[in-house]
Every structure is written in C-alpha cells, then in structure tokens.
Amino acid sequence: MKPTLFVLAAGMGSRYGGLKQLDGVGPQCQTIMDYSIYDAIRAGFGKIVFVIRHDIEEAFREKVLSRYEGHIPMEVVFQSIDKLPEGYTVPEGRTKPWGTNHAVLMAADTIKEPFAVINADDYYGRDAFAVVGKFLSELPDDSKGKYCMVAFNLGNTMTQNGSVSRGVCTADKEGHLASVTECTAISYTPDGRITYTDAEGVAQYPGADTPVSMNLWGFTPDYFAYSDREFHRFLDAHGTELKSEFYIPTTIDALIHNGEATVDMLRTTSRWTGVTYPEDRPMVVERLAAMHAAGEYPDALFD
C-alpha cells in the first residue's frame, strides 16, 4: 500500500501575512511546497492530504491544489479551534490553534493507510522523503505502534541570520527515539560553534551531527486513536488556557514511555531549507537554483 503525505498547512498566512508560503523561490517561481510534493511523488507516496483553515480554502484550492491536479490524488481537511471532543469548549478569549497534533487529528476519518506528516513551509529534501517513504511502504499491513521520525543533522538546519528552535533527539541502543527536547535560541558563536542555553541556564555546544526533529514523522493509522486519547488528557489539564498547544512530540513522548509505540529514528543526509528570517530568502533561492543546475530537479516540476 502506498503511503499518504499529510501536509500541515493550517498556519499558512498566519505568520507572514497572505499565503506567504506560496512565495516563488525556485528558478521558475516554484514554492517550497512544490518541492515537497514533487519529492513525495518520486518517493512513492500515493496521495496528499492537506489540513488548512476554512478561511483560506478558496485561495488554497486556486493557488495550491491546481498545481498538482493530474499528478497525484489530493484531499483537504480543516482545522479550527472549535473542533473539540464532546464536552469540551473553547475558553473565552482563546484565538490560538490547538497545535500540530490537533491538526493531525483532523485527518482521522480521511487517512486509512501509513502516512507521513510534514510542515507546509519547510524544504526537507529528496533523501528525507525517500527514507520515510521506504519505511512506511515496507511496513506489514497490520502494523501498529511502529512509527518513525526523520532526524536531520543539526548543522544542516541552521541559519546564519539568527537563532532557531529545534527538537534535539536522543536514541536508545536499538536506534529508537528516546526523547525530543525542544531547544530554543540555537545559534552560531562568533567562532562558528553551535550553541544554546539549556533549561538550567547552562551553555551547551552540540555537534553539527546532533540529530534534530524538523517535524517529519511517519505513522500508521492507529496513531489517531492514541492522539484522541492524549488530546482528552491534554484538554483536562490545559483546556482552559489561552495559549497551550497539543504538539506531536507530546503524544509521542507518552506512547514511548507507556511502551505503546516505538519510533525508529531515521537519519537523512538532506539539508533542511526554510525562510526563518527574511534574510534567509536569497540563500534559499541560491541553493535551489544550484540543485536545478546540478540536475537534482527538472526545470519545471509540474508540467
């Protein structure tokens, strides 16, 4: 069975104004998402499901879905803050979405096969999709609780234009994910080392090959039931708060520690690319142009 690619696009427009993620950065104005869809198709994915907000549906169908028609089947699901389990309500004054794993739950009735989850505005690279596609397509049909995460080398995810936040990963002796620790304000020192300050206020200097999560996960459909259970627990603990979010690592951490799932930590040689800061854009344009020139991508991704 071919896996499905689930694209987290509900945040499109919210951070940058307009559908900024549709900014043309490729030689023929390709968007970062165009490269993800192209790489997913050649990695063997059989369907794309997008989660978006209702208020961008018209623009999304016109500017995004129209690009890929005839190349791969597509579906759209919607995330809204009032999409909650029975018995729960949105606290007065809350406008913030409930987080990435709430977005994943929106596809529970749509995805019935192994699937990968990505951010809409991150470039992951050909090898990353090949790695996760191979893992998911080779799973036995009755697989449950056997997931994966594509881990990037920290040095392949940095920017010279400021600090970044990354999920720093550790693995157990079997190569399964043991923990993901969200680390903020990771940056370069003047002498070129990578550094951040940990929760105790101590400066850390991780190596460039330190594995980090860039929100590229692989799951089987049983993950939806686990997520629903964990979302109830999250709402019981944080449902009256205005800014708490239900993240994918929240559920992953619970499943690992409960012994209900294992997460293979797959390594990739791909270099993550994204526009974290406006100053990053020229670098992204240059890097993609070089990949086209080297023959890694055709002139036109979708004819």
**pLDDT at 21 (0 to 100):** 61
Question: For the segment 139-178, what is each residue's pLDDT rounded down to a tens digit?
Answer: 998 999 999 999 999 999 999 999 999 989 999 999 999 9
Structural domain contains residue 35: yes
Q: CA-based angle 103:273:108, to the nearest 5?
A: 15
Residue type, 6: F
Structural domain contains residue 121: yes
Whole-angstrom distance, CA of residue 292 vs CA of residue 150: 24
Higher-confidence residue: 10 or 243? 243
SS3 269: coil
203 with 193: CB under 8 angstroms? Answer: no
**pLDDT at 63 (0 to 100):** 84
Structural domain contains residue 303: no
Whole-angstrom distance, CA of residue 136 vs CA of residue 123: 20
- Considering Cα of 104, then 110, then 113, then 117, what sign does the dihedral take? negative
Question: For the segment 27-72, what is each residue's pLDDT rounded down to a tens digit?
Answer: 999 999 999 999 999 999 999 999 999 988 988 898 889 999 999 9
**pLDDT at 96 (0 to 100):** 93
Structural domain contains residue 78: yes
Residue 17 has pLDDT above 50, yes or no: no
**pLDDT at 13 (0 to 100):** 56
Beta strand 164-171 pairing with 177-188: antiparallel
Give the CATH number for residue 178: 3.90.550.10
Of 8-12, 122-126, 158-162, give the lowest mean pLDDT range.
Answer: 8-12
Domain count, the chain: 1
**pLDDT at 109 (0 to 100):** 97
- With tokens 């390709």, the residue in question is 30
Residue 266 has pLDDT above 50, yes or no: yes
Quick one: CA torsion of 232, 149, 278, 285, rounded to 10 degrees? -140
Give the H or E element holding residue 38.
helix 32-42
252 with 180: CB under 8 angstroms? Answer: yes
**pLDDT at 74 (0 to 100):** 97
Q: Considering only CA atoms, which of 115, 123, 185 is closest in space to residue 156?
A: 123
pLDDT band, very low/low/confident/very high, at 14 (cuts 50, 70, 90): very low
Structural domain contains residue 298: no
pLDDT band, very low/low/confident/very high, at 15 (cuts 50, 70, 90): very low
Q: Considering only CA atoms, which of 58, 79, 267, 73 is closest in space to residue 175?
A: 267
**pLDDT at 16 (0 to 100):** 41
Structural domain contains residue 222: yes
Question: For the segment 171-203, what is each residue's pLDDT rounded down to a tens digit?
Answer: 999 999 999 888 989 999 999 999 999 889 999
**pLDDT at 275 (0 to 100):** 82
- Find the length of the chain: 303
- Looking at residue 176, what DSSP letter applies? B
Domain encompassing residue 271: 4-293
Whole-angstrom distance, CA of residue 284 vs CA of residue 282: 5
Residue 19 has pLDDT above 70, yes or no: no
Residue 221 burial by Cβ neighbours in a 10 Å radius (0-12, 13-18, 19+): middle
Whole-angstrom distance, CA of residue 163 vs CA of residue 185: 5
First to last CA, the chain: 27
233 with 239: CB under 8 angstroms? Answer: no
Structural domain contains residue 301: no
Beta strand 177-188 pairing with 74-78: unpaired
Residue type, 263: V
pLDDT band, very low/low/confident/very high, at 20 (cuts 50, 70, 90): low
Question: For the segment 287-298, what is each residue's pLDDT rounded down to a tens digit?
Answer: 999 999 999 999
pLDDT band, very low/low/confident/very high, at 121 (cuts 50, 70, 90): confident
Per-residue pLDDT, averaged over 109-116, amounts to: 98
Whole-angstrom distance, CA of residue 158 vs CA of residue 187: 8
Per-residue pLDDT, averaged over 106-114, amounts to: 98
Structural domain contains residue 299: no
Residue 22 has pLDDT above 80, yes or no: no
